[in-house]
Amino acid sequence: MNAANAATHSWNRRARQRAERLGRAARVLGHQLQGCHVDTGAAVPLLQAILEPGDRVCLEGNNQKQADFLAQSLAQVDAQRVHDLHMVQSVLALPEHLDLFENGIARRLDFSFSGPQGARLAKLVAAGGIEIGAIHTYLELFARYFVDLTPKVALVAAHAADAAGNLYTGPNTEDTPAIVEATAFSGGIVIAQVNERVPVGSTLPRIDIPADWVDFVIQAPRPNLIEPLFTRDPAQISEIQVLMAMMAIKGIYAEYGVQRLNHGIGFDTAAIELLLPTYGESLGLKGKICRHWALNPHPALIPAIEAGWVESIHSFGSELGMEDYIRARSDVFFTGADGSLRSNRAFCQAAGHYACDLFIGSTLQIDLQGNSSTATLGRITGFGGAPNMGADARGRRHASPAWLKAGRQARAGLAGAAGTPRGQKLVVQMVETFREHMQPAFVDRLDAWTLQEQAGMALPPIMIYGEDMTHILTEEGIANLLMCRSDDEREQAIRGVAGYTAVGLGRDARMVENLRDRGVIRRPADLGIDVRDATRNLLAARSMRDLVRASQGLYSPPKRFRNW
Amino acid sequence: MNAANAATHSWNRRARQRAERLGRAARVLGHQLQGCHVDTGAAVPLLQAILEPGDRVCLEGNNQKQADFLAQSLAQVDAQRVHDLHMVQSVLALPEHLDLFENGIARRLDFSFSGPQGARLAKLVAAGGIEIGAIHTYLELFARYFVDLTPKVALVAAHAADAAGNLYTGPNTEDTPAIVEATAFSGGIVIAQVNERVPVGSTLPRIDIPADWVDFVIQAPRPNLIEPLFTRDPAQISEIQVLMAMMAIKGIYAEYGVQRLNHGIGFDTAAIELLLPTYGESLGLKGKICRHWALNPHPALIPAIEAGWVESIHSFGSELGMEDYIRARSDVFFTGADGSLRSNRAFCQAAGHYACDLFIGSTLQIDLQGNSSTATLGRITGFGGAPNMGADARGRRHASPAWLKAGRQARAGLAGAAGTPRGQKLVVQMVETFREHMQPAFVDRLDAWTLQEQAGMALPPIMIYGEDMTHILTEEGIANLLMCRSDDEREQAIRGVAGYTAVGLGRDARMVENLRDRGVIRRPADLGIDVRDATRNLLAARSMRDLVRASQGLYSPPKRFRNW
């Protein structure tokens, strides 16, 4: 049987197809192809020569860096020749990413985050113009690149290439190594757009991707787009956020002795970063908390770094304007021989999952079970890295005081499998009880349930499950879900910090006071925090200008953040 | 304050120390250093010049590939000059790895797996000759390389280097990219031993690690050690194992429609692999199960591959003797332009965690809560990848039929956070009720608890927690723990497949029959399996010779496995 089968079965289809595609490209491009370098004007013909209907394609869309020129070029191919593509990319950020579907070039999508395109994506799905495979957390999508979502063609972005085709990504390495490895070692084809091509004979500042993993390099007519997603102007931090940050530092970070952590994006976490060298210092916490970070180079962390709080930061991607500061603080950041950041989303997500004791982020809705989601009606956005970092890492086996204490609290008094001693990841959601337009952050039912029906998803798009969430922090206080021993207690603990929302008003006052007596709920007063101390004066920097000053002039904010 | 601090604080210590170390090496080596290439005889002086007391060092010890020459050289350095090293390496396999501690060169150890050295390691720990930080699962240790266990010096192994210092790892890339990236981009120093140095002008078959991530290359006097850990001779598979494999295929793989999976090492899983093209075929399961694998190139999988069952395999490392077969089956394996395997433990572990629906492995002990461990008295071994792949991936958000069905079974009838719909990873432990020397696989108390006391660990060394285990498979049947609704039910489900062990004999017969009626426990008969059909004739290969034949002569087993 085997012999017969082997006789009829071809085992080098991938290699043959690859050779055919490369042959077509060589024929079509002619003198527009020199070595691996393709003339800028030949991008569309190259894609038409390489791609076949139904191909699985990874168009590099990162949280920051975008292969925008290749995206625009792909949107221009002849849909008669190239169609039904299956796009597998972490972030859907550009209009062109969706044009592909409207133009009939692509049909199916597997992704992690759609950000600004969330509303348009939802409309396209509703209109049947796009078929969504699944929404992943980043590391989960990268993992599938090596199992059942391996790209046939990868379209990536780098800063520069040399004559041989070695790539220099600069600070924004991000997803590129994971994408290229999965594609190049499975008989796929890798096409890179670059901002610069260094002349023959001269070398790159460093090599991030070896030339023999890359098939074609195209110099883009303009530098690839990069978004400064993680920059927050301290001027916009409210005193409520200062109060919440004080509670986070004293009630959670100090309480558990959190040394290794990740912060989600936002003003809430920026406030924490800006309070470390002031409020944190006054509590004598320097060296006791927040020493190691899995974090992009947040400008708001500059004062804490300058004050010597931070020993190491590994980053998913970089942040515009932080280049010189990172270069001058190479003891803290992961940098290459060229002095610029080496980011790597795959490794940083692994670090966030397995090497951090705490993840703290924000959400739009939390229900009575503690399930939280940023998914709202009419938008399909995805959650990026939150599910990976906001999940208990059940495979973790190394201990730390923070992790052990959380585990003890979760298991105290339990028997059987649930009572077996084990540590637990601290997963905190930090929200004001009402968000903009007086939308309550606490709801009886997540919009995710309606979204599931609308989009026909197998499960509701929940960002972080109540089972994994350990603390909810609002301006009213901290609810420690680890210490709740029943669904009722959990519900009342949540209502007990939900303020004047309908959920909060629905609390059982006696039960809530009882939970407070047990320390399950803690108000600012219970933490010895005087609400009157929560002023903006506590912020180590109160403006972008302060951040620049704190950086010794090394941080250079993007124009839009300069108000002087 | 910040300015003052910055004035007193140096921000380029790492770069300065690196320059000092490189300068020392240049002075000591003189003409024995040409470019990045160091004479073989200068290995010990190089290490003495580079290393400083207390350094954190990653000595590449993989599951297969060993940087054995560098290990031997490190064991020879002068302990007066180089001492108190903190070793951070995934596998402790060589005597030299422990000599370092006995010779006073190293003091602290963070690792994942010690295999054959487990007993000696336990003695050293008991004698206070070694300080264990923690025992990790692989991906967890790699994650800490980027957070709080970043190596200052990495000693790695590659197959070949070119004049510039680019490295070719060949099929056993394994941990090397993760180790080198963490070290090279944190101001550390990377030293590689290679089997071959290609002459100036000629190029490597492919580049796995770029030259500018590598500081020194030394040609080893002999090729680096590689262990064929995943080879199992089909001749040694028993009919009990055939029966258990039939139950796995029909009662679990077919039941859930498992398409993406990982197999632990052993004869139990080898039996499953060898039954796919025979028993699996007879059940019409081809194309319905086992299409995508996160797996080393197991020779036992050859008949299934030849029969067209397998679409893709991504590997942690390679397996000796499989080189030509992999090259000729490049549609299935991840291979480079040179045709040889590109393995990558970090990505394959991510694949096992996030992109697989099932992990099946074996253990030495299972308790009444379903906690399992291979840790036994007098040995400290660690668990390698099992905790990562044998844990529910709580960050996973993409759905598959297998994952959804497991999740439904686990949550049926539950309310609150625990009742929120969610998928679950299938985690199966496959054990005979008695292992060699009539040791029962089921125990009231794991040895792990005694080990914890003996070694003063924060938690007992449990490999897979009962909370994460979904099925136990023995010759007596399958216990589906997902469907148990109380600690009592779980205990009886476990006793109900524990055969004639004391744990099995302690069962409550009525409760067990009730669980069987509910399908929580399923016997071979319940699965429509006639025990008399479980013969070795069902194995697609019954000897190493059969495997070679099935491979069209492409598989060439290591000598020790050749009995013809």
- Mapped onto helix, strand or coil, the DSSP state of residue A479 is strand
Surface of B (67-96) touching A: CB under 8 A: none
pLDDT at A376 over 90: no
Shortest CA gap B66–chain A (Å)? 23
Contacts of A277 in chain B (CB under 8 A): 1-2
Q: How far is CA A523 from the centre of its chain?
A: 31
**Complex prediction ipTM:** 0.97
The torsion defined by the Cα of B300, B303, B309 and B312, in degrees rounded to 10, comes to: 50
Mutate which: A397, A405, A451, vs B, most B CBs within 10 A: A397
Instruction: Locate the chain B residue with the closest alpha carbon to A415.
Output: B487
Region class of B113: left (phi > 0), else alpha (psi between -120 and 50), else beta: beta
Write down the pLDDT at residue A113: 95
> By 3-state DSSP, what share of chain B in percent is helix, strand and coil, each rounded to 5?
40, 20, 45
DSSP B92: -
DSSP A63: S
Chains A, B: CB contacts within 8 A come to 333
**Cβ-nearest to A394 among B147, B312, B394:** B394
pLDDT digits (tens, 9 = 90+) for B282-339: 999 999 999 999 999 999 999 999 999 999 999 999 999 999 999 999 999 999 999 9
pLDDT digits (tens, 9 = 90+) for A294-352: 999 999 999 999 999 999 999 999 999 999 999 999 999 999 999 999 999 999 999 99
Phi and psi torsions of A553, nearest 5°: 80, 10
B467 touches chain A (CB under 8 A): yes
Write down the pLDDT at residue A6: 47
Q: How far is CA A450 from the centre of its chain?
A: 25
Strand B37-38 and strand A106-113: the pairing is unpaired
pLDDT digits (tens, 9 = 90+) for B444-498: 999 999 989 888 899 999 999 999 999 999 999 999 999 999 999 999 999 999 9
Shortest CA gap B213–chain A (Å)? 8
Alpha-carbon separation of residue B169 from A510, B192, B232, B548, B557 (angstroms)? 66, 11, 25, 26, 21
pLDDT at B371 over 90: yes
What mean pLDDT do residues B157-169 have?
97
Contacts of A332 in chain B (CB under 8 A): 11
Q: Token match 């990504």: residue? A: A169
Q: Any idea which architecture A33-219 has in CATH?
A: 3-Layer(aba) Sandwich (3.40)
Is the domain B234-545 a CATH 3.40.1080.10 member? Answer: yes
Question: Does A417 sit within 8 Å of B466, measured CB to CB?
Answer: yes
**Cβ-nearest to A143 among B291, B355, B417:** B355
Contacts of B147 in chain A (CB under 8 A): 260, 292, 294, 312, 314, 351, 355-356
Surface of A (392-431) touching B: CB under 8 A: 392-399, 404, 415-423
Cα B373 to Cα B460: distance, rounded to the nearest angstrom:
9
B198 touches chain A (CB under 8 A): no
Kindly write down the DSSP assignment for every residue of B17-60, as one continuous string.
HHHHHHHHHHHHHGGGEETTEE-GGGHHHHHHHH--TT-EEEE-
Q: How far is CA B83 from the centre of its chain?
A: 30
What are the b/e assignments for B257-284, b being 16+ CB within 10 Å? ebbbbbbbbbbbbbbbbbbbbbbbbebe
Greater confidence (B503 vs A201) lies with B503
Contacts of B353 in chain A (CB under 8 A): 143, 395
Mutate which: B2, B16, B258, B313, vs A, most A CBs within 10 A: B2
Q: How many CA atoms lie within 13 A of A526 on its CB side?
A: 18
**Cβ-nearest to B210 among A207, A369, A490:** A207
Pinpoint the alpha helices (H) of B157-196. Answer: 176-184
Question: Does B421 sit within 8 Å of A395, measured CB to CB?
Answer: no
Question: Does B336 sit within 8 Å of A184, measured CB to CB?
Answer: yes
Please compute Rg for chain B using Cα positions. Answer: 25
Percent of chain B topping pLDDT 70: 99
pLDDT digits (tens, 9 = 90+) for B198-229: 999 899 999 999 999 999 999 999 999 998 99
Write down the pLDDT at residue B8: 59
Report the mean per-residue pLDDT for chain B.
Answer: 96
Phi and psi torsions of B478, nearest 5°: -115, 130
E strand map for B231-326: 260-263, 292-294, 312-314
Reported confidence tier of residue A179, pLDDT bands at 50, 70, 90: very high
Domain residue limits, chain B: 33-219, 234-545
